[in-house]
Amino acid sequence: MRFSLGAEWMPQLAGNQLPSIQIRMRNSSIAGRCVDCDALPTQTSDWEGGMRALLTPEVAPLTGIVLFKPGPDLLKLFKGRVVISTPTMDLSDKPSGLLNDSTQPLLDEPSLAAFFSHERVIAAAGGQNVLASYVQSLGYCQWKQLGTWHYHEFTMAETESGPVSICCSHDTEFMKNGMPGRMDAIAKRNTALWIIGVACSQMALHGDHLLTLPELCWWASLNDVVDLIPEAPARRVLRMPKDTIPQGELKESLIAPVRQATEIIQEAAQEVRRVITLQADPESPESFMLRPKRRRWESTKYTRWVKSQPCACCNQQADDPHHIIGYGQGGMGTKSHDLFVIPLCRAHHDELHRDVRAFEEKYGSQILLLFRFLDYAIAVGVIGSVKN
């Protein structure tokens, strides 16, 4: 498969600076065209979001030609025009091949499949009835196969992995012949997308927000399901190296115990909940109000200690305890709880408030920085410990 790209792409592709590129099948224009077939691109199917693939290019800078070897399973991606883009950070360690047909990167995490399908996670997001309502609202048949006819009315069908949306024609067909196995994968994807949407909504993130692993862990902490986060994603959140099994002989003196990432995250989540509810009052006046006034958890002593710590970005002396903004915290005329703070020097604090998105792309999300700092604060006994 050959593509001819404009000159503006050559600096990014030359010299193997970009090991892989992301290709999406879309009804959209691009500077590249298929050299092997000069015909105009045909219309793609109406798949939700189109197909996506991660491929490694072979670049010939002098001729402006880029070669791909997608394999027979991905050739249908090139029936029409395609959109070419650089892969995001979350795709850096993914093998080449087909990606999920959504923009949500967490759907490309196979290790999270068990988390999204767990009954406790589904219950935390609203329960099976709310999931069923979400699937019913899709309003299209999810059984995609070339040459099939779809009835104009749709219904919901149950699989072993959850509900799917299908037209009445296929519902009748599947009741006679049995549900195809491929529908289980569609049902799992429905559940995962629904949970991601609920998490974004509960944390006051905009509708097209791309949920990250640290944000998912934060939502799981708030909903008491963080213990279900698998080890591999937890290690990525804490930027710990991949868990490897030592090969060959190893002296006992060289064996160093390492805490599991899931244990660290669960401990941090437990301490966060315990500190916030130390002075719990189940009969507070606000709890009987229809519109209770928001009360903040405040601790000048804790924020003063945070200010004395190194900056979370440059390790220089911090100047300010930055209160997390966004992610369902803070707002017009309000601040997040004093527990949700990270130490920042004045320069990085100003940089964050100038452009939150640019700051998080450069240094990591605020939730990631908060997880690390809470883990440190708990480990050194500043919070969660009983002192006389």
- pLDDT > 80? residue 313: yes
Same domain, 141 and 185: yes
The number of distinct structural domains making up the chain is 2
Residue 28: the pLDDT is 37
Same domain, 96 and 124: no
- pLDDT tier, 247 (very low <50, low <70, confident <90, very high otherwise): low
Domain-ending residue, one of 72, 101, 130: 101
Residue 50: the pLDDT is 57
Q: Which two tokens stand for residue 113?
A: 């499949």
Residue 334: which region, alpha, beta or left (left: phi > 0; alpha: psi -120 to 50)?
beta
CA–CA gap between residue 34 and residue 44 (Å, rounded): 15
**Partner residues linked to 154 by β-bridges:** 167
Neighbours of 47 (CB within 10 A): 10
Same domain, 94 and 176: no
Residue 123 lies in a domain: yes
Q: What's phi and psi for 87, nearest 5 deg?
A: -70, 145
Least confident of 92-96, 213-217, 275-279, 326-330: 275-279
Q: What's phi and psi for 215, nearest 5 deg?
A: -70, -40
Domain-ending residue, one of 156, 176, 211: 211
CA–CA gap between residue 386 and residue 72 (Å, rounded): 63
Domain-ending residue, one of 101, 133, 163: 101
CA–CA gap between residue 119 and residue 226 (Å, rounded): 13
Same domain, 139 and 48: no
CA angle 94, 100, 105 (to 5 degrees): 60
Is the full-model pTM beyond 0.75? no
Least confident of 113-127, 230-244, 313-327: 230-244
Instruction: Tell me the residue range of the domain where 34 lies.
Output: 2-101
